[in-house]
Chain A
């Protein structure tokens, strides 16, 4: 096929600049992200369409709107040189703290947590974007002090992390707080915090947890969730163990090949609460079976490995730390979320990235992917 003059010029101009960002876009990350969101939307439809002849499309519609906004955000952040993100740190960190305070004052309560702003038909959950803002903030600070993390600086880091964590715990949203903790720990490790400090952090966390469990600081349900995980016969926890019982049952029912999309008996009867949000993996497991659920996990693993690669190839520590933070966030959320549906992790209210219904989560996820793409694209210039 003969090339037109114009397209030939374009090819030539690309070749001329081998360091240009456009040449180094990691298409596999884009493809994996889109595929994961597609599986998510299909599963959301299956869990929310209802049983009538006219399916309920309101959930899917809202999710598609969030997807379109998220893709725009992802592309914008990919094109933007990630190094310029440092300029936005005060805005991102300050803004997210402001929103986290505001939500405690004027937010709406949903499912027992004061974590949402209602904006017309949409809701905004500020703890989601605050994770993104926190990763950027922490990466910016740690990249300056790499391999030179004194106790004082560690204290600064822990304060920077502690403020949003405390506000989120007040909502109360234990799961998201744990995500912050894991992000902080991982990024500190990648930034070269000495092993003895890392060990100290683990010991401090363990002591802190037992103190918190023993005191009245945790809401009843949070304590119950943790205790259910430890002792499934614990009496006071019927409500909590019900959820896990049902979700594990549904996954077992899926078998190797599943019941087929839209046909899972537990899913279609709504036996598993929150099956379009936190327990969406249950629906995948039951309707698509081991084949489908394992494929989903494989896609997640592939994405995590691509993000690892981006972290390793980054041109500077800021890039590496950004990618490490995103990796920690995704990996922990996937492990915790999928793990709780299969009863190898305690129940916490964490969405499954890309897949769970929820605009705030999807926007944050795609924005984080955008930053990873930017780190990868801008590794030569």
Chain B
């Protein structure tokens, strides 16, 4: 190129330049004219999107069709944490959102927003709810100023609403966003799941919401949409509409349920105000209790209350971790815990009904056989701890089967317990236990509620095995006479749920038909209310109960309430409903070091029993002054019902009456497990943790 002046060489360069441009033009022409592509070529299937649409969850109704759980639309302000974490001006967004919400009438602190963002309760891949149930005005305000609030969104959800507030909370249960574990438990192949879940979908977490989840849940719809290049929906290709879930009709009666809950709270308050008989006695803290009302013929649950309770409305839109911790705090007596089915209690003297059945059925005693009750029973051939007393060492004199019930003579049953063990060659070693198990005590009732407790009915094999398994905590494995004596009065290693006790009394009352208690009556079509499935009574077994035996014991139980010397006579004084005679048994179970549990198990009317009412009050003292009056007031309302009042606004929540809204209580005594004492003298029940 040395030839020629520079301008000529520049000409050569320009030829190179032109040829470079020619190649660019050629390539451009090829790409855009000869080989041009459509968006379908490039994006293909990405142009279609499949969206699951959630349908309406079934409602929950009472036995008369009144709505206990309904659905409504809720507007929530959310923050998408993935977007938020990428923001440079996180502080400003939080500050602006807090002040805006506060100005708009939803007082919100910056710390509240931060707490919600940090709350592990919420699925990290889903927007975290910041404030629920805002007004349409707030929604419009935030959406208009979308660009001032990056990562903030406003969403409308269908949420549960509770027309009767926290009524029957433990039965109903609560719903929440499906957890990762729950999602994993679904079929891996979503097409095999009749009602597949998306992350964030609502699922029943407890109560009938959990047990009947598959019926209540709507079948999700599927919408296939076509989106344009900017991911905006342009057309619906196909749509399968969601199908609403079934309505669930419960066996609960709203009026009775409201009465039972109100009276349970009142009884606990009253129990706390009792004077102590002896200053050294433990406090009557009366922190918790449960009541079950059953239909004796069908074992349908007409009412079931547990205290302390909670508000399922707290779970709408996701509950904060701190609130959840309060609801599961043992020191607050675990408000989420359904004591009617999940707590186990020593039945105390309410168990004598079954000891009596065992004694009469086996022929150990005859109804008219009398015992002279001097207030103390001494075991024969006994060297150590051989003396058992009546409560307060009261001497009842001549006592037969009927009177033993009326006055609650422990001595009468101590004798039965001893005789059974001494004469085991004739009657077998576990006659009392066999009867208790016949009546369903110590085993799951089969009610359609989650996480039911089984309870314990101890016997020689159980005691021996427990000693082998854990010799430190249980140094004695041998079943002694004293064990049998304690068992006869419902003390010792025996613990049942209030529902088990009620169901056993129902079987006794109806002549021996043990059924699984039901909480659900029917599934109804959401749109026309037609019955889809009805739940018939489920007979578990026919218990051998001679009518003569039954009537002797029933007379005794009727005397408890109606005879002048009956332990519940005072509680039922003035109870005057012709044709509606109540029979029942008080029970005062020792739970040292705490105050006694008070129990009352009953049925009515005696002539043709229809109702069973069982009440258990923890740390409440003598049953005759606490549990019996409670049950009496419930019968008053069974005879003369008082209608329950719905809460005025469905959004307005009634504050849940929990332990914290009643007078303050000392912190719970940690349940201590002392080594079982060598059985002998009046044995005390091992303190049993009734909640965990």
Interface residues of A (CB under 8 A from B): 51-54, 146-147, 186, 189-195, 198, 248-249, 251-256, 265-266, 268-269, 285, 289-290, 293-294, 297, 300-301, 304-305, 308, 311-314, 317, 320-321, 323-324, 327-328, 331, 334-335, 338-339, 342, 344
Contacts and interface: CB of A to CB of B under 8 A. Distances in A.
Contact of B11 (A308, A323, A334): A308
Contacts of B11: 308, 312
A253 B6 contact: no
B17 A320 contact: no
Given A251-B31, A327-B17, A192 B6 contact: yes
A198 B1 contact: yes
A241 to B, nearest CB: 16
12 contacts: A52-B147, A189-B12, A251-B28, A251-B32, A252-B32, A293-B32, A294-B29, A297-B24, A308-B10, A314-B7, A338-B24, A342-B28
B1 A192 contact: yes
Interface stretch (B35-43, B178-186, B433-441, B598-606): B35-43
B28 A297 contact: yes
Contacts of A269: 229-231
B21 A297 contact: yes
Contacts of B542: none
B442 to A, nearest CB: 65
Nearest to A195: B1
Given A256-B36, A265-B229, A301 B1 contact: no
Q: Is the interface of A mostly helix, strand, loop or mixed?
A: helix
Given A334-B20, A334-B24, 14 more contacts: A189-B1, A189-B9, A192-B6, A249-B37, A251-B31, A252-B31, A253-B38, A255-B33, A293-B28, A294-B25, A320-B6, A320-B10, A342-B27, A342-B31
B4 to A, nearest CB: 9
Interface in B454-481: none
A344 B36 contact: no
Interface residues of B, number: 37
Contacts of B231: 269
Nearest to B39: A265
B350 to A, nearest CB: 70
Nearest to B22: A301
B13 interface: yes
A256 B13 contact: no
A321 B10 CA distance: 9
B2 A311 contact: no
Most buried by A among B2, B20, B24, B39: B24
Most buried by B among A194, A253, A265: A253
Contacts of B146: 52
B14 interface: yes
B426 interface: no
Nearest to B43: A265
A317 B38 CA distance: 52
A193 B10 contact: no
B316 to A, nearest CB: 32
- Nearest 9 A/B pairs, CB to CB: A265-B229, A290-B32, A312-B7, A255-B36, A308-B14, A252-B37, A335-B20, A320-B6, A311-B10
B137 interface: no
A190 B28 contact: no
A101 B25 CA distance: 39
A192 B230 CA distance: 55
A212 to B, nearest CB: 24
Contacts of A265: 39, 43, 228-230
Contacts of B9: 189-190, 192
Contacts of B85: none
B142 to A, nearest CB: 15
B667 interface: no
Contact of B230 (A51, A323, A328, A342): A51
B24 A342 contact: yes
B18 interface: yes
B10 A324 contact: yes
A314 B39 CA distance: 50
A290 B29 CA distance: 7
Nearest to A289: B32
A285 B9 CA distance: 34
A328 B231 CA distance: 43
B23 interface: yes
Given A252-B35, A290-B32, A331 B10 contact: no
B36 A54 contact: no
B113 to A, nearest CB: 23
A285 B28 contact: yes
Contact of A193 (B2, B18, B21, B43): B2
A235 to B, nearest CB: 23
Given A193-B2, A289-B32, A320 B24 contact: no
Contacts of B21: 297, 300-301, 304, 334-335
Contacts of A256: 32-33, 36
Interface in B635-681: none
Given A308-B10, A308-B13, A290 B1 contact: no
A77 B566 CA distance: 118
Most buried by A among B6, B11, B16, B17: B6
A147 B2 CA distance: 7
B36 A317 contact: no
